[in-house]
Amino acid sequence: MKVKLLGLMTLCMALVIQVSHAQEKTVSGTVSSVSDGLPIPGANVIVKGTTRGVQTDFDGNYSIRASVGEVLAFSYVGMQSAESVVGASNTIDMALSIDNALDEVVVVAFGTSTKEAFTGSASVIKAEEMELRSLTSPIAAIEGATTGVQFLSASGQPGSSPSIVIRGVGTLNGTTDPLYIVDGISYQGGLNTINQNDIETITVLKDAASTALYGSRAANGVVIITTKKGKKGSAVKVDFTTQFGVITKAIDDYDQVSPGEYYELMFSILQKFIEWF
């Protein structure tokens, strides 16, 4: 009886193994690019959830063992990953799209360009970077975020905008302020009047090639400010922020003397100072 039971169990195990091997098959195909249709060599093809994987050859072809119902994950550097479920077919071709998230957009004089295609010198400060700092003027967001820019604080008045010099002083008699462009229009007002929460990006153009379209007005560089715009299909989002500052004197001017005595002392000190020089 035991011998018959052992033989029956062995037969069942062999049947299960045979069925599992029957479900596993060789899946092959080609991985290509959506933009130009060319094959992608070196793309990764992995059975999701396992360590089984292969890479495509020079012609973008691959071949891998997988079972029906398993998921093949396709990935390549600079491309969006894609997945496909193994079905009855033994051939799975996959076309990958370019990952646009890797293309950093640079706003230039003639529109926009990607960082890879841009040949000039520019720095981009995004809204996410400005949200991490408490600023009284949007132009202050450039400080510490881009190279070749010198900041000059005109006054200590709260809310005042600092002046900047891009790549050193280029004139002796004229102004050293760069040209400010807000949404494609030359801006002459105070930068502290622009709400930093409304700014999408700030692009600093530094060299002559980047500022050629603006002519002599861009001799000291160009700062392009692009504000946020509504997006179709996105939900309504309302943000509210507020900030305030308080300035107090550490020592009261009239703590030890009256106002009249204070001005007499200040006048006598001024006279002594003039006599010394």
Q: What is the 3-class SS of the chain, one letter each residue?
A: CHHHHHHHHHHHHHHHHHHHHHHEEEEEEEEEECCCCCECCCCEEEECCCCCEEECCCCCEEEEEEECCCEEEEECCCECCEEEECCCCCECCEEECECHHHCCEEEECCEEEECCCCCCCEEEEEHHHHCCCCCCCHHHHHCCCCCCEEEECCCCCCCCCCEEEECCCCCCCCCCCCEEEECCEECCCCHHHCCHHHEEEEEEECCCCCCHHHHHHHCCCEEEEEECCCCCCCCCCCCCCCCCCCCCCCCCCCCCCCHHHHHHHHHHHHHHHHHHC
* Higher-pLDDT residue of 157, 217: 217
Domain with CATH 2.60.40.1120 in the chain: 2-100
Specify the pLDDT at position 21.
47
Residue percentage of the chain with pLDDT more than 90: 11
Q: Per-residue pLDDT for 260 more than 70?
A: yes
* Higher-pLDDT residue of 30, 274: 30
Specify the pLDDT at position 49.
86
* Higher-pLDDT residue of 159, 1: 159
Q: Per-residue pLDDT for 26 more than 70?
A: yes
First to last CA, the chain: 123
Q: If you average pLDDT over residues 89-113, what whole number do you get? A: 72
Q: Per-residue pLDDT for 180 more than 50?
A: yes
Structure confidence at residue 45 as a pLDDT band (50, 70, 90): very high
Residue percentage of the chain with pLDDT more than 70: 74
Specify the pLDDT at position 102.
47
Specify the pLDDT at position 156.
64
Structure confidence at residue 56 as a pLDDT band (50, 70, 90): very high
Structure confidence at residue 110 as a pLDDT band (50, 70, 90): low
Homologous superfamily of 2-100: Carboxypeptidase-like, regulatory domain (2.60.40.1120)
Domain with CATH 2.170.130.10 in the chain: 104-227
Specify the pLDDT at position 87.
87
Least confident of 53-62, 76-85, 130-139: 130-139
Specify the pLDDT at position 198.
82
* Higher-pLDDT residue of 104, 206: 206
The CATH number corresponding to 104-227 among 2.170.130.10, 3.20.20.370, 2.60.40.1660, 3.40.640.10 equals: 2.170.130.10
Q: If you average pLDDT over residues 265-270, what whole number do you get? A: 87
Q: CA-to-CA distance for 149 and 190, rounded, in angstroms?
A: 19
Residue 29 CB neighbours (<10 A): 21
Q: If you average pLDDT over residues 42-55, what whole number do you get? A: 90
Residue 144 CB neighbours (<10 A): 10
Q: CA-to-CA distance for 161 and 136, rounded, in angstroms?
A: 8
Q: Per-residue pLDDT for 151 more than 80?
A: no
Q: Which of 129, 127, 124, 126 is nearest to 114 (CA)?
A: 124
Q: If you average pLDDT over residues 6-29, what whole number do you get? A: 63
* Cross-strand pairs, 126: 201
* Higher-pLDDT residue of 211, 25: 25
Q: If you average pLDDT over residues 169-174, what whole number do you get? A: 71
Specify the pLDDT at position 251.
67
Report the chain's mean pLDDT, rounded to a whole number: 77
